[in-house]
Structure 1
Amino acid sequence: MSNEFYELRANDPQGRPVSMERFRGKTVLIVNTATQCGLAPQFRGLEELYERYKDRGLVVLGFPCNQFRGQEPESNEMMEETCKVNFGVSFPLFEKIEVNGPGTHPVFRFLKKRLGGFLGSRIKWNFTKFLVSADGKPLRRWGPVVKPEAMRGYIERHL
């Protein structure tokens, strides 16, 4: 099971494929994001986690999604720029994906299968967060309203 994560791929905002193998040996925090969401200020908290722990092996991966009330209407390029300029994001971002339904991206299909939510595996809203261990094992899922700083202790224990 632990190697399955590293077999997955996702495209960066320019459409170039990125293998999750690139993150082997790192603790990975995966988040479905949206720049127009009321929870978008969490980008700053996610960036703070990334800056604080990247030298200890944490990487944050942002996967924009427009499935929740159209809160990510921007093109991939504009979304990336908005994240950098408005929220100071330097962690890796990917192209827009779907997190629910028949078009669910394989990364989220994998995560939801391993870590169901409170009312099933379906993603309920933007800024659902998943932590994957340095050996590719899904560890924990947090709901959208959980602020990044509230996850710090758990993340520290797994670095």
Structure 2
Amino acid sequence: MEKDRREGRHPSQSYKEDELLYDVLDLWIAGQETTAITVLWGLMHLIKNPSVIEKIRAELHLITNGNRSVSLSDKDHTPYLNWTVLFDPGRYEEGGKELEQRIIPFGIGKRSCIGETLAKAEIYLILANMISRYNIREDPEVPIDLKTTTPIGMMHRPRNFNIILELLKY
């Protein structure tokens, strides 16, 4: 559209408004679905590792004192949570190099995800605020299955699971 404008053509001659609407809708849906699935996987793995949740909660409590929500400005003060949320293939001892080349969560180059920064911020804020406000446990009647997935295009959604949330009282 910008190129058309510079060349003296009206943008609507080459790019229709409904095409723009569909493109924006594609970006919105793609971003929402992938971020939601990432949060679900993160919750599942955190619930299976309650000691990690407790360590994150302690870190968050030092910053918020239980009196406020976690914000992006807190990110520099939450190294353990950042480490937990950030996928780093180099952490894996066995086949780390090989794995590093295969997993590129947000792509690279011209085809990289334009929503990477927003997605990382959303994931950080959702998980941080859930952990700081709630005791999160697995529902013993519906155990979490980390292996069974439902393919959705190129993504694998975790199998439905239940959790128990209890509001923390400080």
Q: TM-score, normalised by structure 2?
A: 0.24
Greater fraction strand: 1
Structure of higher CA gyration radius:
2
Q: TM-score, normalised by structure 1?
A: 0.26
Which has the bigger relative contact order, CA under 8 A and spacing at least 6?
1
